[in-house]
Chains A and B, each alone.
Chain A
Amino acid sequence: MKSTEIPSKLSERPGQRARLQFACLFPDPGEYATQLNLFPGNNAHAPWGTEGQFQLNVGLYSQSMNVGNLESPLVDASGNIRLQLDSALSTGSQISGGIALIDLDHESTIPVEIYLSHIHRKSQVYIAYPALSFAGDQLYPTVHTHQLENTLFWPGISCSKEVQPGVVVVNPYRSIMSFQVHLIRGDGSREHAEVIQIAPRSSGIYLLESLFPCEDLLASSGEMRASLCVSAQYKLVAYMMLRDRAAGVITSIDHLHTYCLY
């Protein structure tokens, strides 16, 4: 399976070009404006390098269907790329959200990260967070499994009468994936939710109260605070989401991370 679908527009300089692939949530555009904001010069300094070109291509998918595409202009390290994702949808589109798959082409050795923002149109609640990368369409079963790259972790679940936690799972691949969410209680005991299937190039928002007993989550404060683990066949992309119960608005998102890096 090809991992590079759209040819890079960057100039030909062998050994000086790379592509990163990111996947993120694209919530209901009727409720939320979603923006990508990239300042590629963030890492333009020694030892990485100070010059280079950068470009983004974004594919929007809803229920596994490609519903829009966006292409950024080519910029250099002093530039800024801003993309309004809903501008890729056709007028009058009834899309209720989905995922964005982002190809970032960059020359030189300058590492780049992408931040995206969701702005709730009515309340103007504004959240910004880094998009999580994945290794492209190519799947490496042994490596993903044995090196635990298929296991993402979130220490410390937050849940209250005002705040409702959920996990966003994105399947950026062309294949159906399945995953399981595990609750690790503060006393070390574990609860495992049912295995969930997720369609190709789609996402799901899973409120933790629909997966685990609500009392467990509400009780998880102080020394008994619970943690969350998402395990899958391959490396999936997952985010922790907090929602204001009264308004039903997403108020915080951040990506899960691998278990232990040190």
Chain B
Amino acid sequence: MSEQIIAKEFRGDSMVCYCHRQSTKDLISVFENEKTLEGVQRITRAGTACGGCRIILESMFGQPSIEIAKLNAEGPAGTTACVKPGVRIMKSLIIANEQLESTVVSSNAVPPQLLDCDSTTAVEYALADSEGKILWKRNKVIRTNETFVFSTQEEADLPRPFHGMFFYSLGRSNYGASRFNVIWSSKRSITSTHENATTGRPRFVLPLLVDPKFLKGANSIYLGMQNPHGKALNVILQIFEVESDRKVDQVLSIPSHGTRWIDANRMLYAPAMQQLGKGSFALRVFTPELDTHCAPTLYFFIYNRTLETWSANHM
């Protein structure tokens, strides 16, 4: 039935609701049972946080989006914005080199409103090296309110320098927190951000502008680029001048679940600016297929040499 209703361009697995992490596949799966967009939204909460995807939901299902004020506060049994039963694998960047060490933290805390719910959960976690080779898999049961911690500093056998992918898989049927943060620390600085979803953007521009003054200044940009998919990716790294779109391309091959650590000042911006001359430049990252199944994930780091501090975030 859904095949007849759902616009064909939305069949796939693109992320629709970034607030509640609902992909087209998730939403269509719920629609199979619910038959209405309102029903889908009551269960998934899609379109009820920032509201930015409501117009997409309407295009997708050809029905009006639910008024937020009409949402049933309780929702269906066992499903709230806090938890949706199911198994998910989350991934992130792990660094252990001469500059940074990594710590993964996931707290199995129950939200304060839910008081003493049991949130005991089994997790499987694994580490892959830069070529995507799985080094090990481990299992752990995390009790209610317990904190999961993985630290590269505790891993004596880890080959160094190390740049790789951390996998965190959990089957959730209760009310604990599920997400994790990665903390990267140097001798005198700390920075942190959260894990990446497995779907992403097949084309994006890093929100940093670089000019000759930047290159001579106090900051260096490093990139941790990963391929979260099951097949190898050829990623185009394109430095372009913002005003004119003059550009220089480099191709980066990343094996399945592989990671590349890039000194962007030295390897991308400086050579491109030598070729293109003065101006204000940005980095566009894309895969030729322009399909969300071929989207790389990117963590960006800015190192300040004056204070020896790091800041990180991701696309």
B161 within 8 A of A: no
Q: Is B88 an interface residue (CB 8 A)?
A: yes
Q: Are A111 and B53 in contact (CB under 8 A)?
A: yes
Listed residue (A145, A163, A231) with the most chain B CB atoms within 10 angstroms of its CB: A163
- Please, how many angstroms separate the alpha-carbon atoms of A46 and B11 in the complex? 11
In the complex, which range does the number of interface residues on chain A fall in?
A: 35 or more
For A7, the chain B residues whose CB sits under 8 A away are: none
Q: Is the CB of B313 within 8 A of A128?
A: yes
Task: Tally A-B pairs: CB < 8 A.
Answer: 280
Closest-CB distance, B50 to chain A (whole angstroms): 3
**When the two chains form their complex, are residues A252 and B190 in contact, meaning their CB atoms are under 8 A apart?**
yes
Tell whether, in the assembled complex, residue A39 and residue B189 are in contact, meaning their CB atoms are under 8 Å apart: no
Cα distance A127–B208 when bound, in Å?
10
The answer to whether A147 touches B302 (Cβ under 8 A) is: no
Whether, in the assembled complex, B267 has its beta carbon less than 8 Å from a beta carbon of chain A, the answer is: no
Q: Which residue of B lies closest to A254 (CB)?
A: B193
- CB pair B189–A163 under 8 Å, yes or no, is yes
CB-defined contacts of B193 to chain A, threshold 8 Å: 129, 254
- Whether B146 lies near A258 (C-beta < 8 A) is no
Interface residues of A in 148-170 (CB under 8 A from B): 148-149, 151, 153-156, 158, 160, 162-163
With A133-B49, A260-B177, A261-B20 known to touch, is A149 a contact of B81 (CB < 8 Å)? yes
Contact A262 B178 (CB under 8 A): yes
Give a binary string over B195-220; 1 marks a CB under 8 Å from any A CB, 0 the rest: 00000011111011100000001110
Are B302 and A126 touching (Cβ within 8 A)? yes
Task: List the one stretch of B127-135, B226-234, B248-256, B304-312 in contact with chain A.
Answer: B304-312
**A contact face: mostly helix, strand, loop, or mixed:** mixed
Is A155 within 8 A of B179, CB to CB? yes
Stretch at the interface among A63-71, A134-142, A205-213: A134-142
Residue of B nearest to A46 (CB): B9
Evaluate contact between A130 and B313: CB separation under 8 angstroms. Answer: yes
Residues of A within 8 A of B49 (CB): 133, 135, 149, 235, 258
Q: Which of A85-93, A181-189, A194-202 contacts B (4 or more CB under 8 A)?
A: A181-189
Of B32-40, B69-77, B269-277, the one with at least 4 CB within 8 A of chain A: B69-77
B interface residue count range (under 10 / 10 to 19 / 20 to 34 / 35 or more): 35 or more
Closest chain A CB from B105 CB (angstroms) = 3
Residues of B within 8 A of A58 (CB): none
Per-residue 0/1 for B141-175: is the Cβ within 8 Å of any A Cβ (1 yes, 0 no)?
Answer: 00111110101000000000000000000101001
Stretch at the interface among B91-99, B106-114, B257-265: B106-114
Task: For B48, give the chain A residue with the smallest CB separation.
Answer: A143
Q: Mark B residues whose CB is within 8 Å of A.
A: 9-10, 12, 14, 18-21, 24, 45, 48-56, 58-59, 68-69, 71, 73-75, 80-84, 86, 88, 90, 103, 105-107, 109, 111-113, 143-147, 149, 151, 170, 172, 175-181, 183, 185, 188-194, 201-205, 207-209, 217-219, 242, 282, 290-291, 300, 302, 304, 306-307, 309-313
Top 5 nearest A-B pairs (CB, nearest first) are: A156-B105, A188-B145, A133-B50, A115-B207, A146-B73
21 contacts between A and B (CB under 8 A): A18-B54, A46-B291, A82-B209, A112-B52, A126-B208, A128-B302, A129-B193, A133-B19, A134-B50, A146-B74, A148-B113, A151-B111, A153-B177, A223-B149, A244-B309, A249-B309, A259-B109, A261-B21, A261-B84, A262-B84, A262-B86
Known: A15-B58, A156-B180, A223-B147. 7 other contacts (CB 8 A): A18-B54, A42-B204, A123-B218, A148-B80, A148-B113, A156-B106, A229-B109
